[in-house]
Amino acid sequence: MKVIFTELAHAELLDACDFYELEFSGLGTRFKQEIRQAIKRIIQFPLAWPTENNDIRKYLLHKFPYKIIYSVEIDHLLIIAIAHQHRKPEYWVDR
């Protein structure tokens, strides 16, 4: 299944990677690896995770306080947000 990031979700991913890399060398890479693993799981079982808002689903990361907000489309997976779990809940809803 093809995975498409919105521009804002891609920017959030890069910002989080940069932040973690500044905190500790290599941590940004570990964050990105966890995102990749999460997306692989989502692709395998796209409807397995709970809905956040209507047909929008969320996948909680295990080692970082982030969640992947996504939508299952006919021919692809749309990543809407890479959202911190403790900041501005549902800021992404208007996307």
Fill in the DSSP letter of residue 24.
S
Q: What class, spelled out in words, does domain 2-84 have in CATH?
A: alpha beta
Q: Tell me the pLDDT tens digit for each residue of 44-90.
A: 999 999 998 889 999 999 999 999 999 999 999 999 999 998 877 66
- Asked if the model's pLDDT at residue 95 lies above 90, the reply is no
Do 42 and 49 touch, CB atoms closer than 8 A?
Answer: yes
Residue 46 has a pLDDT of: 97
What is the CA angle 64-67-68, rounded to 5? 125
Q: Which is more confidently placed, 39 or 1?
A: 39
The per-residue pLDDT of the chain, averaged, comes to 93
Type of residue found at 52 = E
pTM: 0.90
